[in-house]
Amino acid sequence: MDRKEYQRLYRLKNKEKAKEYAREYHLKNKEKVKEYHKSEKRMEKYKEWYESPKGHKSRTLSRWRTWGVIGDLDAIYDIYLATNECMRCSVPIEGLNKHMDHDHDTGLYRAVLCNSCNCGNIWDKPPHGDNKSTGIRYISKRKNRYGYRFQKTTKKITHSKSFLTLEEAIDYKDEYLNRMSRPPSS
Which residues make up the interface to Zn ion (CB under 5 A)? 86, 88-89, 114, 117
Angle value at C-alpha 1, between 36 and 47, nearest 5 degrees? 30
Q: Which residues are registered as beta bridge partners of 150?
A: 139, 161
Do residues 137 and 128 touch, judged by C-beta distance below 8 A? yes
Nearest distance from C-beta of residue 107 to Zn ion, angstroms: 22
Nearer residue to Zn ion within complex by CB, 9 or 89: 89
| 158, containing H or E segment | strand 157-163
Nearer residue to Zn ion within complex by CB, 61 or 79: 79
Nearer residue to Zn ion within complex by CB, 23 or 155: 155
Cα 31 from Cα 167, distance rounded (Å): 78
Nearest distance from C-beta of residue 179 to Zn ion, angstroms: 14
Do residues 155 and 119 touch, judged by C-beta distance below 8 A? yes
Nearer residue to Zn ion within complex by CB, 43 or 89: 89
Nearest distance from C-beta of residue 86 to Zn ion, angstroms: 3
Nearest distance from C-beta of residue 81 to Zn ion, angstroms: 18
